[in-house]
Amino acid sequence: MTLSYEKLDSLEKAIPLYQTIIKLERYEPESQRSGTIRLARSLAKLEEYEKCEGVLKAEIKEKPTELIYKQELFGFYKNVVERKPRNYKWRKKLGFHIYDRLKADIKSSPEIKYKNFTNDIFRFTSSESFTAYNYGDEISRHIEGTNQDVSIFIGYTDYREMALKHLEASLKFSGELVADTLILDAMADINTRTKNYDAATQVYKER
């Protein structure tokens, strides 16, 4: 008999069950694990955003080459920003999540291929052992002992522009008189690598 956690009386009751599943999944092949994502999504629905972020970051730290958790964190940040568009902290988190992964991708790739940030670089794949999937694909995993599946969509967009958009919005909504130099440096780096030198120069002038 399988159990649908979506039919429990409340998400609060589902959370300890997902935590138990996560412990049991340690003995299962990685491809069969998905309790972490279910737990994270339940926390997000409860608007326990920091806890959700912590769960996913801990999994990423333990399994740095597993794309599915990074994609889930990426989607989580996007959803929070959509719900809280004027919250500069979550805008910053999303912007840096993209920027950091972009830098990591470049560092692990041949310089001749990834000398500059281009549309072809940021696929969340080249440095993460995930080349078997194409854009538009869905990664699906079944939660053992339930009738639930976890699906993550692999989309495509101009991630350079997305990072800049959210970093700029973070500066705008922060209300700080002195701009965050970490954000300015990231924005200047993106503009420099994309050969948008005028924009990079303007950002540096704001430091």
List, for residues 64-99, the tens digit of each pLDDT value. 877 778 888 988 999 999 999 999 999 999 999 989
- What average pLDDT does this structure show over 54-65? 89
Instruction: Give tens-digit pLDDT for 179-204.
Output: 899 999 999 988 887 778 898 888 88
Can you give the pLDDT at residue 31?
53
Task: Give the DSSP per-residue string, 148-187.
Answer: -EEEEE-----HHHHHHHHHHHHHHHH--SS--HHHHHHH
Per-residue model confidence (pLDDT) at position 90: 97
Q: What residues pair up with 152 in beta bridges, in sequence order?
A: 139
Position 3 scores a pLDDT of 46
pLDDT, position 149: 64
Calculated CA dihedral for residues 74, 78, 79, 80, nearest 10 degrees: 100
Q: Give the model's pLDDT for residue 146.
A: 55
The pLDDT of residue 136 is 52
Predicted pLDDT at 201? 87
Which helix (H) or strand (E) segment holds residue 84: the answer is: none
Give pLDDT, residue 84. Answer: 95
Convert the pLDDT of each residue in 139-155 to its tens digit: 666 655 556 666 665 55
- Name the band, by pLDDT with cuts 50, 70 and 90, for residue 2: very low
Mean pLDDT, rounded, for 150-177: 80
Query: Which of the pair, 16 or 95, is modelled with greater confidence?
Result: 95
Closest CA to 71 of 141, 19, 143, 175: 141
Between residues 114 and 34, which one has the greater pLDDT? 34
